[in-house]
Structure 1
């Protein structure tokens, strides 16, 4: 498909890098919302990122590879974004290493990762994005065992979802992390042994929605349980 003439387009969904040229995107300078089907055929992530760099009005971007066919090489610079107004980013591609915080748009408010199979803790990078309001780590986005939210990190974060992180065993939240967190959702993290002790310091928390998978875990977090002190300050608890 040749789409280069659509210079006034503001929304483009399901653009395929296999059946269209990313060069066509460079002329769509009015784009505000874009979703891309990407599998690396004829196009690297570096080339794609470069083609998006001139889209100064872009606010919402989704990049997905349903079959996870893309496999970055060791010498590939990979993903970066120079879209100054980008607010919402969704990535569902195989990406074992997250780019440095400097490669993300400065004013990003929402990020969703799915199926990335990240090998390193993503929180160490995401917590440095000062305007993040919402973070969702879904369905094997992170395949490591340990995750740490540092003190002072995520200063604007209100919503956090951890779902389908099947290998996660330990989550540490340091005092001073996520001071404005309002809603926490934890689903299908079957190996998570306990909730972070640091949750008790997040006085802004209004809602915890969690499935525990074991009766023992559920008892610990229930009223009178040995870990109830971590969540007793949260007004709305939905722990099953």
Structure 2
């Protein structure tokens, strides 16, 4: 990396950490490559809404973001994460109400452990063409009221219909929309 690019990258990393540490930061939207998320303790404890677009994260962002105590809304959009596997651990995302996973074209597997996202009400999954199936752990999220699956393969959507292989994971969800 040339000196100018390295300087700009270091400035961005330290600038991002400074911004994330602002105590009154409530909402954050980041567009563009950031490479790697800072550790969760660099984030303001008051942050409630985060949206990423085209961040090209190679490491699973859930491991960091699930530790934010007041996070209620999370959008991962358009190549935010370029890896193949995401995991949400037990007790992760304690206040998350809304999650949008859109355009993660390399995502193949997504694990949600029992106890994760205990307040999730709305989930949108779209344009994740490689995603093989819904996470099994969705069956434990009894608060889920709305599931919107858009622009996914017919095979993926068929797994969610009555009698489909994944229907048992979401049978408790009153509003399921398959577009």
**Residue segments in structure 1 that go unaligned for 5+ positions in a row:** 1-39, 54-79
Cα distance per residue 1:46-96 (max 9 Å; x no partner): 56448xx5xxxxxxxxxxxxxxxxxxxxxxxxxx53210110001112111
> TM-score when scaled to structure 1?
0.68
- How many residue pairs align between the two structures? 173
Which has the greater radius of gyration? 1
**Alpha carbons of structure 1 residues 43 and 125: separation in structure 2 relative to 1, 3 Å:** closer
Matches within 5 A, 1:90-239: 90-211=29-150, 213-239=152-178
Q: Is the 8 A contact 2:126 2:152 kept in 1?
A: no
> TM-score when scaled to structure 2?
0.91
Report SS of the residue matched to 1:200: helix
Residue 44 of structure 1 is aligned with which of 1, 4, 11? 11
Q: Is the 8 A contact 1:212 1:218 kept in 2?
A: no
User: RMSD between aligned alpha carbons?
Assistant: 1.8
Q: Is the 8 A contact 2:20 2:43 kept in 1?
A: yes
Cα displacement (A) at 1:138: 0.3
**Alpha carbons of structure 1 residues 153 and 43: separation in structure 2 relative to 1, 3 Å:** closer
**Residue segments in structure 2 that go unaligned for 5+ positions in a row:** 1-6
Which is richer in helix?
Answer: 2
**Alpha carbons of structure 1 residues 94 and 223: separation in structure 2 relative to 1, 3 Å:** same
User: Once superposed, which parts of structure 1, at least 4 consecutive aligned residues long, lie more than 6 Å away?
Assistant: 40-43
Report SS of the residue matched to 1:221: coil
